[in-house]
Structure 1
Amino acid sequence: MLYGIVLYPDKEVQDAANSWRVRHDSHYSIIPAHITLREAEEWDESTLQNAISHLQHVATTLKPFSIHFNRVSTFFPVSNTLYLSLVDPQAVTDLKQAICSGPLVPAASDVVYTPHLTIGRDMEADELHDLYGNLRMSSIAFTTVIDRFHLLYKTEQGGWTALQSFPLKG
């Protein structure tokens, strides 16, 4: 089964992101607005149980924190993706590093982790540039408290749903 680990921002941020995602994000209907901490991967039952134990431990060592979104950015030309960018992504990066340790050390990757909330993906280049041009002139100012992270699994219908949430208790 496929599993992934994400953060969900509060309702205000999700509503704002969804106002763009509904038209521009091909994943709008299969997963709520989120920040990915660990990409989807296939786990067997043993890996899942080890992961849950590890995630429970990580959650007890870290305190809740706030994140601030302040602009729209893009991964173009690497991918036609628009996203809400963080003022200071360090707390999210630290959480990802804690999660992706021990039994969850990922395979080596050439991709640099950039914490973000996707608002558009798989867009045509013209659409991407038009929307990016309009949104980068907009005032973006959202703050949300991160007090938990979520282990998701992919359902048979192709959507993603939470298997377990891990409150930060440090």
Structure 2
Amino acid sequence: MNYGIVIFPSKKLQDLANSYRKRYDPHYALIPPHLTLRNVFSTDDDGHIKEIADKLRNIAKKYDPFNLKAYKISSFQPVNNVIYFKVDSNPELEGLHNDMHGPEFLGLEPEYAFVPHITVAQKLSNDEHSDVYGSLRMMGIDHEEIVDRFHLLYQLENGSWTVYETFRLGKD
């Protein structure tokens, strides 16, 4: 089974992202807008996922709630035609990401450098990417909120994602 670890932003930011995603993101119906902390990984062992959940509980205790700031529209082009809300990196986000990629977790190095973001458009043709990116950049984004949890998700047979467990940040 496939799993992933994400932060779901507030409804306000999700609504804004979805106003674009419903037109420009083919994954719109499969998962709400999110910031990925750990890309997809697989395990079919119930004991192993419970062990991973225990490790995530311990990681969550290490970090206090933090400020998430989405501050501009950006793109991964020319690597791929993804347009996203860029999220300001901070020690908590970096720490969460690093802990979830460390040797004591699953130990797999991330495929790409960590760029905190919330995808709003993907799998666009070059022309479509250029048009959409140009118009979104003119509108911009300036959003801040407090994040106090992250989620372990699993993928259903139809390709959609649902929460396996939620982890609250902080010592309590």
Q: Give the TM-score of the pair, scaled to structure 2.
A: 0.93
Q: Which segments of 5 or more consecutive residues in structure 1 lack a partner in the other structure?
A: none
Report if aligned partners of 2:73, 2:86 keep a CA contact under 8 Å in 1: yes
Superposed, 1:20-169 pairs within 5 Å as 20-43=20-43, 44-109=45-110, 111-169=112-170
Q: Deviations over 1:83-120 (max 9, x none)?
A: 00023344312211123335424323452111100000
State how far apart, in whole Å, the 2-side matches of 1:9 and 1:149 are: 10
C-alpha distance 169-64 of structure 1, shift in aligned 2 (>3 A): same
Does the 8 Å contact 1:89/1:115 carry over to 2? no
Taking only the aligned residue pairs, the percentage that are identical comes to: 35
Helix, strand or coil for the counterpart of 1:136?
helix
3-state SS of 2:107 partner: coil
Change in Cα spacing, 1:110 to 1:160, as seen in structure 2 (3 Å) is closer
> Which deviations, in whole Å up to 9, do the C-alpha atoms of 1:8-37 show, x marking residues without a partner?
000110000000000001110000000011
TM-score by length of 1: 0.94
Separation of aligned partners in 2, 1:144 and 1:12: 10
8 Å contact from structure 2 (residues 83, 119) kept in 1: yes
The Cα shift of 1:141 comes to 0.7
Report if aligned partners of 1:13, 1:144 keep a CA contact under 8 Å in 2.
no
Q: Give the AA of the match of 2:2.
A: L
Unpaired runs of 5+ in structure 2?
none
Distance in 2 of aligned mates of 1:165 and 1:106: 22
1:126-167 CA-to-partner distances (Å, cap 9, x unmatched) read 111111111112131111211000000001221100010000
Against the structure 1 CA distance between its residues 161 and 109, is the aligned structure 2 distance closer, same or farther, given a 3 Å change threshold?
A: closer
What is the distance in 1 between the residues matched to 2:50 and 2:101? 15
CA distance in 1, matches of 2:129, 2:91: 27
Q: Is the 8 A contact 2:63 2:92 kept in 1?
A: no
Question: In 1, are the aligned partners of 2:73 and 2:140 still within 8 Å (CA)?
Answer: no
Backbone CA RMSD of aligned residues: 1.4
Given that 1:5 and 1:151 are in contact with CA atoms closer than 8 Å, whether structure 2 keeps it comes out as: yes
Please say if residues 31 and 159 of structure 1, whose CA atoms lie closer than 8 Å, have aligned partners that are also in contact: yes
